Structure 1
Amino acid sequence: MQKAVIQLETLSCPSCMQKIENAVKRLNGIHQDSVKILFNASKVRLDFDSETVAVTDIEKAIEDLGYGVLHSKVKSA
């Protein structure tokens, strides 16, 4: 299991949080209870199984919604 913190471009509305959370949770390999969207910091925190899903896949799911990803930090849990 790995932990990721994904820095997004500034989030402008609370409904953005729900869209991002739903898209990320739909991916295989995401630890469902770990997904946290930090609205004021424009960050996504989550735990994921790197054997099943790559951080680039998570970033793509967010970018496909129209939200810019600035960078990601990944560390082993």
Structure 2
Amino acid sequence: MNTVKFQLEPLTCPSCIKRIEGKVGKMEGVEEVKVLFSSNKVKAGYDKNKVTPDELKAVIEKLGYPVVS
């Protein structure tokens, strides 16, 4: 399992956590996802043969949460 971390712009509400974890967690190849509200970070464990970090980033940004790094 590979791991990737994304720094997001500040999250505004705890429901953001469920939204991101729910959508990213359902992606094929994602083994775990955790949103850290206090630090505005997303950490995901994934199978590099099924999904790429760029695909994960694209889903997060499509939900309306810009990735800053």
Summarize deviations over 1:6-35 as a string: whole Å, max 9, x none. 11111010001100001101110000xx31
Q: Percent sequence identity over matched residues?
A: 39
Supply the RMSD in Å over aligned alpha carbons: 0.8
How many residue pairs get aligned? The number is: 69
Question: Which residue number corresponds to residue 75 of structure 1?
Answer: none
Question: Which residue number corresponds to residue 69 of structure 1?
Answer: 67
Q: Distance in 1 between the 2:43 and 2:57 partners?
A: 12
TM-score (norm 2): 0.94
TM-score (norm 1): 0.85
Q: Distance in 2 between the 1:67 and 1:41 partners?
A: 14
Question: Which residue number corresponds to residue 44 of structure 2?
Answer: 46
Ranges of 4+ aligned residues in structure 1 off by more than 6 Å: none
Where structure 2 has 5 or more consecutive residues not aligned to the other structure, the ranges are none
* Cα displacement (A) at 1:49: 0.6
Q: Secondary structure at the match of 2:68?
A: strand
* Cα displacement (A) at 1:51: 0.8
